[in-house]
Amino acid sequence: MVFTKLDAERAVRHYCCVWRLARGLSDVSEKHLSFDDFFAWIQQHVPNALKFGTPATVRNDTQSWFTSEFGRESRPEFLQDTSR
């Protein structure tokens, strides 16, 4: 299965939260979370989430989403909670 880039982004962002809980990192500051650890985890547990087309590299896109998801930069508008 190959994801569209948008579907892959949604999946990766979801798995950021799943990974954090699975690794017992809920109490760890977001700035101290390890992308390398996350990337190794997602490769092992959900490799299909990393199957998408991109002009960059899968790792670079995934790192960008990880960084954004954990508050290091703003989230894309389509993912922001507009219910507030």
Burial label for 68, CB within 10 Å (0-12, 13-18, 19+), is middle
Note the pLDDT tens digit of each residue in 14-70.
Answer: 999 999 999 999 999 998 999 999 999 999 999 999 999 999 899 999 999 999 999
Q: What is the pTM of this model?
A: 0.82
Could you tell me the residue ranges of all domains in the chain?
5-71
Q: Rounded to whole angstroms, how far apart are CA atoms 14 and 16?
A: 5
Distance of CA 3 to the CA centre of its chain: 14
What pLDDT is recorded for position 21?
96
